[in-house]
Chain A
Amino acid sequence: MSLQRLCLRMFCLLALAAVVAVLLGETSFVVGQYVEAVAHPGSPPGEVLWTIRAPRVAMAALVGAALGLAGATMQGLLRNPLADPGVLGVSAVSGLGAALAIAGGLAAVPGAIELSALAGALVAGGAVVAIVARLREPEALILLGVAVSAFGGALTALVFNLAPSPVAIAEVLAWLMGSVENRDWTDSFKVLVPMAIGAALCLKAGLGLRMLTLGEEAAAMSGLPMSRLRVYAVAGAALLTGAAVAGAGVIGFVGLAAPHMVRALVKDDPRQLLWPSALAGALLLVLADLAARLSPTEQELKLGVVTALFGAPVFALLAWRASRSWRA
């Protein structure tokens, strides 16, 4: 199957999932109310569909796409099928940014949490970009990411420790568990710009990611500007991850699992994997958010909890099936 055809099919699947996700929710409608919502967007059913559910679905799709693309980029860059968008520590520091904003009492300031999360991602991403030019070996980068991630996690724990009130702790925790609840269209537009820049950078690095299949030294001699492409990949993944955390908090497994859902369909090609991974990530998160909304629990499940609950076993299954081809 050609890449275009694969992407088209996945896009159709995503569109279908998005329509279903907009139509279904905690509040059930009859057919007449759906017709009313379409005919009169300002009507009560219309309000529910277009100002509550649709922006939420859009945010889930955007965040999922960003995480899927960032995950595929990281796996290609680090030549490691277990890499995910958080592997360089960007998620942890971005979450720290959001936690600082909430604990600092800025939760009520429009855009403060998002900006703070994005700033955290840019700081961590910038540090990694500065170092990535010197460190070529993936193992060194992963270890650096582990250190950055641990430090970000430790500082977040410190925020909990020093939080002025239990309410602040609960708010930070709720954010860190990830959700697209109560997002409006403006929220989606806010994250769209960093996501678009990040996506462009990752796609630009595509040929370099494919070349890294051969290893660092063969890639360095290949004629491609590998140092620059490596920076594009890290900066792009950092922007995507930061924007995703800014939009929906910390959501695991999507960036790890989405590339594996489509890897076999693109014959393991790290370059061709990028677009389908973004679409797979979007599809995953739209469905995860629908599951969170339809769950028969008193409290709505957090998106990060759903992705972890479903993602971990699914990923284990995928990893088991794919493990034969991972041998060196």
Chain B
Amino acid sequence: MTAAWTLNGLKAQQGGNQVLDVASLAVSRGEVVGVVGPNGAGKTSLLRAGLGLLPRTDGDIWLGDRRLETLTVQARAARVGYLPQDRRLAWSLPAEQVASLGAVDLPEAEALAVARERLARVGAADLAGRGVLEMSGGERARVLLARLLSTRAPLLVADEPIAGLDPDAQLLTLDLLRKEAGSGAGVVVTLHDLSLAARCCDRLMVIEGGRIVSEGAPIQALSPEILAGVFKLDGALVETPAGLVLAARRL
């Protein structure tokens, strides 16, 4: 499989403190990689530093076959779409216009057509003309997901895309991201729900103190030892008809 995103020896500081020290990370096209870890572990820092949004003190970043530094902003946008954790929007633009901001490489009419199709895909076609600040948080999250999908990028990076959503919207969001992976995109998501992460991701990376402490297939990455050591949970992932589910209690 082709690597969509590769990080080597990535280190970053914030406020004089080392917040990230990642030896290596590679995301292939066609896979969904989940980044999990407790609050403050460095999940968002990993994404931000890996996309060049947080200044790094060391390390290489590759998007596909090109180093990040060699890419123009347009070329970078053609290789990666990013959904930040912060869903605050400044103005109440119509949803279709917000979604079309993912496709600024296209003429405005075409960008709007792409946006409408993506809104339909996320089940928000009926919201196309509504102002985003008049929507509920869940509806707005769908619009922003449509914006991410409108980028049509081979790597989609989403920071907490299901935070604050109802169960149906959570599953819909992860299903849609899986479909994008099925169409050949590499997908990276940070998640807090370990059961959903185990069920919906091909691989998981467990991060603690800015370092990746475990990675691999969900059942391996979230071993009972990691659950105990990193998440302070006594338990394990168990197979159920609905997929993997975390059965655990606090230590």
Q: Which residues of A approach B to under 8 Å, CB–CB?
A: 79-80, 207, 210-215, 217-218, 220-226, 267-270, 325-328
Contact = CB atoms under 8 A, between A and B. Distances in A.
B53 A214 contact: no
Nearest to B100: A210
Interface magnitude class on chain B: 20 to 34
B53 A215 contact: no
Contact of B101 (A211, A226, A326): A211
B53 A325 contact: no
Nearest to B47: A217
Nearest to A228: B73
Given A223-B78, A224-B73, A269-B91, A217 B53 contact: yes
A267 B131 contact: yes
Given A79-B90, A325-B131, A221 B76 contact: yes
A213 B98 contact: yes
B89 interface: yes
Interface in B74-130: 74, 76-78, 80-84, 86, 88-94, 97-98, 101-102, 104-105
A221 B88 contact: no
A185 B51 CA distance: 53
A210 B76 contact: no
Contact of A217 (B73, B82, B101): B82
B147 interface: yes
Q: Is the interface of B mostly helix, strand, loop or mixed?
A: mixed
B89 A328 contact: yes
A326 B133 contact: yes
B77 A268 contact: no
A223 B84 contact: no
A90 B116 CA distance: 41
A222 B89 contact: no
Given A211-B101, A223-B104, 17 more contacts: A212-B90, A213-B93, A213-B98, A214-B101, A215-B84, A215-B90, A218-B82, A218-B83, A218-B101, A220-B53, A221-B51, A222-B104, A224-B104, A225-B73, A269-B93, A326-B133, A328-B89
A207 B97 CA distance: 12
B53 A221 contact: yes
B91 A268 contact: yes
18 contacts: A210-B93, A211-B104, A213-B101, A214-B89, A214-B101, A214-B144, A215-B86, A215-B88, A221-B51, A221-B76, A222-B101, A225-B73, A226-B73, A268-B91, A269-B97, A325-B133, A327-B133, A328-B88
Contacts of B89: 213-215, 328
B192 interface: no
Given A218-B82, A328-B89, A210 B101 contact: yes
A267 B93 contact: yes
Interface of B: 48, 51, 53, 73-74, 76-78, 80-84, 86, 88-94, 97-98, 101-102, 104-105, 131, 133-134, 144, 147
Contacts of A212: 90
B91 to A, nearest CB: 4
A12 to B, nearest CB: 26
A293 B147 CA distance: 51
A217 B91 contact: no
Contact of B86 (A80, A217, A221, A270): A217
Contacts of A268: 91-93, 131, 133
Contacts of A211: 101, 104
Given A207-B104, A214-B89, A269-B91, A221 B97 contact: no
A307 B76 CA distance: 46
The 4 A-B pairs of least Cβ separation, nearest first, read A223-B77, A79-B90, A268-B91, A221-B82
Nearest to B97: A269
Residue in A215, A222, A327 whose Cβ sees the most chain B Cβ within 10 Å: A222
Residue in B51, B73, B74, B76 whose Cβ sees the most chain A Cβ within 10 Å: B73
B20 to A, nearest CB: 16
Contacts of A226: 73
B108 to A, nearest CB: 9
A269 B96 CA distance: 12
Contacts of B104: 207, 211, 222-224
Contacts of B93: 210, 213, 267-269
